[in-house]
Structure 1
Amino acid sequence: MAAAGQEDAAASFDPLRPRLMRVAYRMLGSVADAEDMMQEAFIRWMKADRSEVREPEAYLHRMVTRLCLDQLKSARRQRETYIGPWLPDPVLDEEEEEDVTLPLMLALERLSPLERAAFLLHDVFGMGFDEVAATIRRDPAACRQLAVRARGHVRKARPRFKVEKQRGLELAEAFFNASRSGDMKALGAMLAADVSIHADGGGKRPAAMEPITGFDAVMKTHEYLATRFKLSGSTLVRTCLVNGLPGFVTLEADGEFQTTALEIEDGRIAAIYVVRNPDKLRHLH
């Protein structure tokens, strides 16, 4: 009977898992934490009286969102003691999806948990405010206000002009080639004047402890890195979208993966996001 109940629960849960995972990941910015929420949600779904649930998708959305709201409290405490810049776990997508790019994910970090939930559920996943209200246990008017405040915080992080995917991937490959070979002239031609580098090593691998900002500082950093790459190597695994931005995955000299995502504005690279923390790259294996 227990096995039959688990199969029945899985039959209704598994088709919804990808969308629920997207909700959890965008709430938390961590693949491992989102997977933990999926596991906990499935256990609770298995124990629930499913015959009483008229709309499983809405029920599970509410469950996952509430689990994530609880998780965000401890996640925020962990971020306060994080070593160096924090970036969300890299997710590799074949297609752009819902316009939730890496800069927007970072902007979401500045929101309260309830603002984050209201914005994501309504503006990203298209829920009506009545359903948002039922999910986060606030009235619809309060949810509207939460979403309005959230939009004000994240407005600048939403892309003004979307880069055509193929053009973006071509620029990512050109950036890889120039940065690894030390072709500073080619590299400089790709960078915006106010370009910045954000590297997340989490104290586990070498990475800048603060963002590196400005054309000259970024060029100087890459001049140094190019000498290191020539000595130790850096292998391109694939170009792809990394959290909705053009980028690539590399295998570095220490045998670990690394992801690089490029924020492009007006045809030039405005920001470079590098994830080196091995804890954030395990799912890529």
Structure 2
Amino acid sequence: MLIEAGMVEDGDPSEAALDVSYAVMRALERLSPLERAALFLHDLFDVPFVDIGQTLGRTPAACRQLASRARKAIHRDVRRFPATERDVARFLSGWGEAVQTGSPAPLERILSEDVELVSDGGGKVPAARNILDGRSPVARFLLGIARQQISETAVGEPTAINGHPGLVLRENGVAISTMAFASEGSGNIIGVYIVRNPDKLPVSPTKAALRPSRPPPAAGGR
């Protein structure tokens, strides 16, 4: 595999749009069950704190504090920016160079030190079981899946995910994965969000796929 680096073009925002922002999902995962319940019941369903307290077995004041902590935590955790076309192009370039050289270093140069990778297989296809944190683990994982799990016939197509530049990988015109990204503002990638669950993948045919390329053969190989 991989995808030749190229400037990302605007895609159809409806094609690979996902229902919920990955960054918000990640922030919600970090909340305690009580914080999530208080936040959802009050902010989404307009349930009074008195009633929430009866449901959770807490005082109204305690529930108000739970919801307040949840809001602050979400605001803190989602201080990330949607990746730009330039950010995605730099990622593709680094990913392609990493595959060509067999070294994660080109990827590490464009990943934030605090980058995280979330992969959703929906229990139907292989995916990372846990959230990966840190530049080196994420770079090694991306290099590994590119060289071992994505066939040489796969193509990468720039698309819009949640209205922002992203990538969809296809084999024989069928989507096998989407990738969304978050940037820390400096251009480095701080979030990589991969969906492999077939129930969440776009089904429209490819429009302007990037050509795949293979890493050079090892020394002494045929």
Confirm or deny a common fold (TM above 0.5): yes
Unaligned runs of 5+ in 2: 1-15, 54-59, 204-222
In structure 2, give the amino acid aligned to 1:276. R
Contact 2:17 2:160 in 1 (8 A): no
Unaligned runs of 5+ in 1: 1-89, 94-99, 122-131
Contact 2:87 2:183 in 1 (8 A): no
| Alignment of 1:151 onto 2:71 | yes
**Aligned residue runs from structure 1 range 19-98, under 5 A:** 91=17
Deviation by residue 1:25-75 (Cα, 9 ceiling, x = unmatched): xxxxxxxxxxxxxxxxxxxxxxxxxxxxxxxxxxxxxxxxxxxxxxxxxxx
| Alignment of 1:115 onto 2:31 | no
Contact 1:116 1:150 in 2 (8 A): no
- Give the equivalent residue in structure 1 for 2:112: 192
**Aligned residue runs from structure 1 range 98-177, under 5 A:** 101-109=21-29, 110=31, 111-120=35-44, 132-133=46-47, 145=65, 147-159=67-79, 162=81, 168-177=84-93
Query: 2: CA distance between counterparts of 1:226 and 1:133?
Result: 47
- Give the equivalent residue in structure 1 for 2:174: 255
Return the offset for 1:120.
4.8
Contact 1:180 1:230 in 2 (8 A): no
- Give the equivalent residue in structure 1 for 2:126: 206
Identity, % of aligned pairs?
A: 31
Greater relative contact order: 1 or 2 (C-alpha under 8 angstroms, separation 6 or more)? 2
Aligned to 1:203, the other structure's residue is in SS state: coil
Which of the two has greater helix per residue?
1
Return the offset for 1:171.
1.5
Return the offset for 1:260.
0.8
Structure-2 change in CA distance of 1:239 and 1:185 (3 Å) = farther
- Give the equivalent residue in structure 1 for 2:142: 222
Query: 2: CA distance between counterparts of 1:245 and 1:120?
Result: 25
Structure-2 change in CA distance of 1:201 and 1:230 (3 Å) = closer
- Give the equivalent residue in structure 2 for 1:264: 183
Query: 2: CA distance between counterparts of 1:251 and 1:218?
Result: 22
Query: 2: CA distance between counterparts of 1:155 and 1:198?
Result: 19
Aligned to 2:25, the other structure's residue is in SS state: helix
Aligned to 2:107, the other structure's residue is in SS state: helix
